[in-house]
Amino acid sequence: MSRDIHVRHWPAQRDDPYWTRAPQRTGYWLEEVARTSSSEPTAHQLLGDHKADVVIIGGGFAGLWVAYFLAEAAPNLHVAIIEADTCGSGASGRNAGFMTGWWDELDVLTNLYGEERAIQACIAIDESIAAIGDWCVRHDVDAWYRQGEYLAVATPGQHHLLDLPNVATAARLGRDASLGVINQDDLSHRIRSPLFGDAIRMPLAATIHPARLAKGLRRVVLEQGVTIYEHSPVITLRIDSRIEVVTTAGRLGAPKGVVTMGAWAGSLWPLRRLGITMASYIVATEPVPGFLAEIGWTSSECICDLRKALHYFRTTPDGRIIFGGGATRAVYRNARMIERSGAPKAPVAELRASMARFFPELTDVPFAAAWGGPVDFSPIHLPIVDTIDGDRLFFVYGFSGNGVAPSHAVAKELTKSILNASPLSDTWMPQISTLRHRFPMDPIRSLGARIIQEAIIRNEKRQDHGQNSIWLSKFLSLPNQLGFPF
C-alpha cells in the first residue's frame, strides 16, 4: 500500500515566494564564497522522470557526506541529491563553523546507551574532527580548517554551572583528558575578557569556513559521479514499491532514500514531534587583528558561555570575530522566513550589546555581515537517525546547532546501514526508540518553546545585573522535569 508524505501545504503550480524569493543577505560565509570562488561544476534542476539507486533529499553537510561515503564504498551505485536551493545554502553555509565533540554530552549518551556506546559515540565525533581536516588537504579544499580547543566559559554568576555531571563522568571513565576544567588564571594568559572565569575545556576542536567546506564537498561528489539536482524543491515523498520524490518540475524514483533536510524536515508529518525549529543569528566583525593580538586571542578556540541562551564566538584567519547566539527564538512552520529576512535589527542589537560585555573595546566595531538561519533542535540535543518506512527511507534530524563534525560521523555510520552492512540498532547513533518523550503538536510545541525561551532570556538578563527571580527559576525548571532539556 502506498502513502504520501507531503512536504508543503499548498499546490505545486502556485507562484510560491517560499522558494522563488532569494534571501536579502545570505551571511558572511556564503557571500565570501560568492566573491572569491572560481567557476564550479554545474548541477541542473530536476526535470521529467528519472531513476537512481539512492536518492538523498537535502544538499547540506549530512546529505553531501552520505553521498560521498556511498560513492566511495560503492562506486557503481547511482546516487542522486535533490536540493531545494543550492548545496550548502542552508544551515551548512550559515553556521559559526565550530567543530566540537560530544564529551560534554557524555551523561546524556550514557543514560541512552550505557558507558561503552557513549564513549564510542564521542570517539567517533573526535575522529571526524581530525578526518575533515585530512579530507580538505587530500581534496585541495581551502576551508580555513584550524584545530584549536573548545572552551565553555563561566561568566559572573555562572560558576556553579561548572560542576557538571559530564566532567565527573569523564573523569570516572578515565577520559579526563577529553573533558576537564581550566581555571580563570590560566585562561586569562591565553584570552583576556572581563567576563571570563573558569571554563570547561575540550582539547580537540577546530574551526572551519562552512560554506567553503560545503562547496568543496559539492565539487568532490560531482567528480565521484553523484548526480545533483538543485533548485528542485520537493513537494511529496511517495512510499510504494520504491521511494518516489516529486518536485515542482519532475520526479525521481529509487529503492532507497535518505532525508537530510535539516530544519525543513519538521514539515514531514512523521518527524514533526521530534524537534523544534529555532531561529539563530550571527554577526561577523570587520577585521580586528590588532585587538586580538592585544588580548592574546591568536589561536583557534571555539568559545561559548554557559547560558542556556548561550553566546558563541570564534575568530577567522583574517582577524574577524564571528559572534552568535543569545537571541534564539522558536519558529512556527515557515523556517525559510528566517533566511529571507536576514537578521532583524533587534537580535543584531542584542548581539552587539553582548559582544560589548565580553569585549568592551569592540562596542563600536563595524559589522561586515549579520544573518540568520533555522536550527533543528531534538529533545536530547543530539541528532536522531532512524527510518520512516522499514529500511528503505532513512532520516537524520536534530543536529541542534552542532552539526559540522557530527554530520560527517553520522553519515559515515549511516552509510553502512544503507548498504545493509549493519542495522541501525547496532550503531552508536541515537534513534527514536531512545527518546523518553516527544514534543507536543503545534501550535503548543512552538508556542511553548517560545514562552520558555523568552523566560530564559529574561532570567539570564536579570542575572547579568546580579538579580535573581525565584519564580522564573521555578518556572524554567518545569521543562527538565517533563523531560525536555531547554
Amino acid at 323: F
For the stretch 274-303, pLDDT in tens is 888 888 899 999 999 999 999 999 999 999
Consecutive H or E run containing 4: strand 3-6
Determine the residue type at 246.
V
- What is the tens place of the pLDDT at every residue in 453-486? 777 767 677 666 666 666 666 666 666 655 666 5
Residue in the structure block whose three cell numbers are 547496532: 426
The terminus-to-terminus CA distance of the chain in angstroms comes to: 39
Identify whether residues 128 and 199 lie together within a single domain.
yes
Q: 202 near 103, Cβ under 8 Å?
A: yes
**Same domain, yes or no, for 111 and 180?**
yes
Of the residues 192, 208, 224, the one at which a domain ends: 208
Q: What's the CA gap between 330 and 315, in Å, rounded?
A: 27
Q: 32 lies in a domain?
A: no
Whether residue 253 sits in one domain with residue 114: no
DSSP per-residue string spanning 131-145:
HHHHHHHHTT-----
Domain count along the chain: 3
In a domain, 258, yes or no: yes
Tell me which residue of 485, 273, 267, 265 sits closest to 397, measured CA to CA.
265
HSE-CB for 366 with a 13 A CA cutoff: 3
Write out the DSSP string of 60-108: SHHHHHHHHHHHHH-TTS-EEEE-SS-TT-SGGGTS--EE--SGGGHHH
370 occurs within a structural domain: no
Q: What is the pLDDT of residue 104?
A: 93
Q: CA 410 to CA 427: how far, in whole Å?
A: 10
* 148 and 269 together in one domain: no
pLDDT value at position 22?
Answer: 45
pLDDT of residue 291: 98
Is residue 448 included in any domain, yes or no?
yes
Task: Tell me which of 157, 182, 208 is where a domain ends.
Answer: 208
CB 75 within 8 A of CB 224: yes
Closest C-alpha to 232, from 244, 248, 253, 245: 248
Query: Is residue 198 domain-shared with residue 271, that is, in the same domain?
Result: no
Q: Could you tell me the CA-to-CA distances from 457 to 279, 463, 469 in Å, in that order?
A: 14, 10, 13
Instruction: Say if 340 falls within a structural domain.
Output: no
In a domain, 358, yes or no: no
Last residue of a domain, one of 190, 208, 226: 208
Measure the CA dihedral 329/273/241/1, to 10°. Answer: -140
If asked whether residues 198 and 85 sit together in one domain, one would say no
- Whether 151 maps to a domain, the answer reads yes
Same domain, 105 and 204: yes
474 and 391 in a common domain: no
Angle between helices 444-464 and 470-481 (to 10 degrees): 140
Short-list 454, 86, 395, 373, CA closest to 267: 395
185 and 152 assigned to the same domain = yes
Are 204 and 109 in a shared domain?
yes
Q: How many CB atoms lie within 10 A of CB 477?
A: 10
| Same structural domain, 127 and 200 | yes
Task: Say yes or no to pLDDT of 424 above 70.
Answer: yes
| Whether residue 232 sits in one domain with residue 243 | yes
Per-residue burial over 340-374, b if 16 or more Cβ lie within 10 Å, else e, is: eebbeeebbebbbebbebbbeebeebebebbbbbb
Domain span at residue 450 reads 444-481
Confirm whether 248 is domain-assigned: yes
Place of cell 536522531: 384
Instruction: Give the range with max mean pLDDT: 42-46, 313-317, 341-345.
Output: 313-317
Confidence class of residue 246 from pLDDT cuts 50, 70 and 90?
very high
Q: What is the mean pLDDT of the chain?
A: 86
pLDDT (tens digit per residue) in 124-152: 999 999 999 999 999 999 999 999 999 99
CATH number at residue 75: 3.50.50.60
